[in-house]
Amino acid sequence: MVNLLDYDLAGIKKFLIGIGEDPFRGTQLFKWVHQKGVADFEEMTNLSKSLRKVLSEVATVEVPMPKKDDIASDGTRKVLFGVDSQNAVESVFIPEIDRGTLCISSQVGCALACTFCSTGRQGFNRNLSVSEIVGQLWWFMHSPTLDGTPNRLGNVSADRPVSNVVMMGMGEPLTNYDSLITALRVMLDDNAYGLSRRKLTVSTSGIVPNIDRLREDCPVSLAVSLHAPTNELRDELVPINKKYPIEQLLDACRRYIDPNISSDVSSEKWIRSGSPRDFVTFEYVMLHGINDSNSQARELLKLTEGISCKFNLIPFNPFPGSGYKTSHSERVQAFQRILMSGGRIATVRKTRGDDVSGACGQLAGEVKDKRTPRRSRSQREGVSSNRYVMRGKS
């Protein structure tokens, strides 16, 4: 059995050829699965009876099963998806009046061990497959909310509750490269979710060679977790910096940005209307007394001179035993003012969903950590069913 959610459109066509069927049916099949959320081949009425029968014998449409579904007081919804008998990952949906942003996980845990990140503290178990990545979006697009009403707010179209996707959940997307690229292609495809490249963001802690590959293979909006103005401090906070230091990372950012595009970095309008490669977003977690001084803000200005960029300051979201404190809001504002006075756009990320631990860096999921013997709740409870098989055959 193959899971059709593991394929982009080219993959589905190849699969159809492999089973002796007409590849042109791939587009219809893709639309049924992703646009209509249909997983039972019998319901795909514009496919021939014989094709439906063959498909039910060799294929399935499976998405990860939600194990927990929490809605915060601000409407932020956090869903824990079981991906196998021992592991679960989290996705967070942030509804706003004019858009709905879904934050998706790419791995169970993360190997990069950034010291301020709850996912990083858990260690790494495994990469998610394409179907486990795309399945998070599929589920939010096609499932009703807890009270049965569609999953949307305000002006976001009824059939498209998710207008933006950010790869900012658990894991480092650029270390799960092949699955990430296929998943991004599905999200961008007009026959599937039709997201625009500007509304699809990959966030990375700085895997330099794969930033270059992403530029070639599937350029989408890029967010880079900078977090420190010097290698000395970044080595400590983001250990992958020892392999790919700041200078190399910033060079990769320069390469990512299309050199032919205007370099008027001070215009917010330009950034809003730009193509995904016009600028890079630097994420910067604000840690009290560690990376939040005025002189560090000025160092950042020097460091990023000539790069079309915007800064997103993220107040540190605490978790038990982190050892860090969140910068005071006056400090964050002062830091922001220095960046802005140097001509950079600098925003402060609103903390959303923190009463369900759905804010950045609080995502913990349930990880069978190879480094810590503590068992996750699913292990203790012996949860064994891991998949939510739609009415198709498995």
Q: Rule CB under 6 A: which residues touch ligand SF4?
A: 110, 112-114, 117, 119-120, 171-172, 205, 225
User: Minimal distance in Å, beta carbon 218 to ligand SAH?
Assistant: 17
Q: How far apart are CA 66 and CA 36, in angstroms?
A: 20
Cα distances (Å, whole numbers) of residue 388 to 64, 203, 314: 6, 28, 34
Q: Does an H or E element contain 95, and which?
A: strand 88-95
Residues that bind ligand SAH (CB under 6 A): 114, 116-118, 168, 172, 203-205, 225, 283, 285, 314, 316-317, 360-361
Choose, from 90, 132, 172, 366, the residue flagged as catalytic.
Answer: 90
Exposed e or buried b per residue across 43-69, where buried means at least 16 C-beta atoms within 10 angstroms of its C-beta: ebeebeeebbebbeeebbbbbbbbbee
CA distance 243 to 34: 39
At its nearest, how many Å lie between ligand SAH and the CB of residue 110?
6
Residue 114 vs 200, nearer CB to ligand SAH: 114
User: Nearest 5 degrees, angle CA 119-CA 237-CA 232?
Assistant: 165
Q: Please give the residue whose beta carbon sits closest to ligand SAH in the complex.
A: 361
Q: How far is the CB of 333 from ligand SF4 (least distance, A)?
A: 24
Spatial distance between the Cα atoms of 170 and 168, rounded to a whole number of angstroms: 7
Q: Is 110 annotated in the active site?
A: no
Cβ proximity to ligand SAH: between 164 and 203 the closer is 203
Element holding 150 (H helix, E strand): none
Q: Looking at 253, 309, 360, 366, which residue is catalytic?
A: 360
Q: Which is nearer to ligand SAH, 25 or 227 (CB)?
A: 227
**What residue 174 binds from ligand SF4, ligand SAH, none (CB within 5 to 8 A, per partner kind)?**
none
- For residue 130, the partner it binds in ligand SF4, ligand SAH, none, with Cβ less than 5 to 8 A by kind, is none
Residue 316 binding result from ligand SAH, ligand SF4, none, given CB thresholds of 5 to 8 Å by partner type: ligand SAH
* Smallest separation, CB 225 to ligand SF4 (Å): 6
d(CA 64, CA 81): 6
Contact between 187 and 5 (Cβ < 8 Å): no
Q: Report what 168 binds from ligand SAH, ligand SF4, none; CB cut-off 5-8 Å by kind.
A: ligand SAH
Q: Which tokens is 114 given?
A: 């950034």
- The residue nearest ligand SF4 at its CB is 120
Based on the residue annotation, tell me whether 90 is a catalytic residue of this protein. Answer: yes
| CA–CA gap between residue 165 and residue 184 (Å, rounded) | 10
**What is the rounded CA–CA span in Å between residue 172 and residue 361?**
12
Question: Which tokens hold the place of 352?
Answer: 């959303």
**C-alpha distances in angstroms, 172 versus 32, 33, 83, 105, 310?**
30, 27, 17, 9, 21
- The amino acid present at 79, given as its one-letter code, is V
Answer whether 177's CB lies under 8 Å from 213's CB: yes
Structure tokens at 265: 């970095």
Minimum Å gap between C-beta 328 and ligand SAH is 15
Binding partner of 334, given ligand SAH, ligand SF4, none, CB within 5-8 angstroms per partner class: none
Q: How far is the CB of 108 from ligand SF4 (least distance, A)?
A: 11
Q: Which does 89 bind (CB under 5 to 8 A by kind): ligand SF4, ligand SAH, none?
A: none
- Judged by beta carbon distances under 5 to 8 A according to partner kind, the member of ligand SAH, ligand SF4, none in contact with residue 271 is none
State the nearest-atom distance from the C-beta of 205 to ligand SAH, in Å: 4
Q: Which residues have a catalytic role annotated?
A: 90, 360
